Amino acid sequence: MSPRRFRRQVSPELQARGADAEASFQAWLDDSRLPFLYATQNQQSVPKHFKGQLKRPDYLVALPFVGMIAVDVKAKSFYEGGLIFDVSEIDKLAKFDEIFRITTFLACFDPDDPTRTWWYRVGSLTARPPVRRMGAMTIHVSLSDGLEADMTRPLQEMLRDLLLLS
């Protein structure tokens, strides 16, 4: 039997913030009229031999006649002009990106303004130097390193801006 891994409990308040962010993101996708799939978050959604190595994103968004992107939605608080991500989670999303060959993004909601998100391509975060915070390896990412998205505009417009800035 393998040893149990320590998992930090997520407070009900943070769970509710995450659920609200996902609901807002899904409403934005609906308003943008793009086809998408919500990736179920149960234990069976990752194959047994990839458990602990792979994290599935929250949404697969089709860009008709172009391809698909994957998006993991986050409700994050700002810290020193940026956001903090758990290295383990970034590595697991990067593994998804690599295996499935789908560009994967983090869409991070502004806690004070639900019409704004910051987008980061997961692959661009993997080489950042980690720092230990509260027992976990993390990375700090400046807001200016992401693309600010105005969720009052359709997702297609935000993606066009993303391509122009790449």
What pLDDT shows up at residue 164? 65
**What per-residue confidence (pLDDT) applies to 54?**
86
Between CA 88 and CA 94, with CA 89 as vertex, the angle to 5 degrees is 100
Alpha-carbon distance 117 to 149, whole Å?
A: 5
Domains of the chain are 12-165 (3.40.1350.10)
Give the mean pLDDT per block of 10 residues along the chain (166 residues).
52 84 91 89 72 87 91 90 93 94 93 87 93 91 89 84 63
User: Residue 2's pLDDT is what?
Assistant: 42
77 vs 75: CA distance, rounded Å = 7
CB atoms within 10 A of CB 136: 14
H/E element holding 147? strand 147-150
What are the structure tokens assigned to 130, written together? 């980690």
Cα separation, 44 vs 51, whole angstroms: 10
Q: Which residues contact 66 (CB under 8 A, 6 or more apart)?
A: none
Task: Give pLDDT, residue 165.
Answer: 56
Question: In this predicted structure, what is the pLDDT of residue 90?
Answer: 96
Q: Which residues pair with 106 in a beta bridge?
A: 72, 120
Q: What is the pLDDT of residue 1?
A: 40
**d(Cα 127, Cα 146) in Å, to the nearest integer?**
15
Residue 5: what pLDDT?
A: 47
Cα–Cα distance between 142 and 39 in angstroms, integer?
A: 28
Distance CA(27)–CA(152), nearest Å, equals: 11
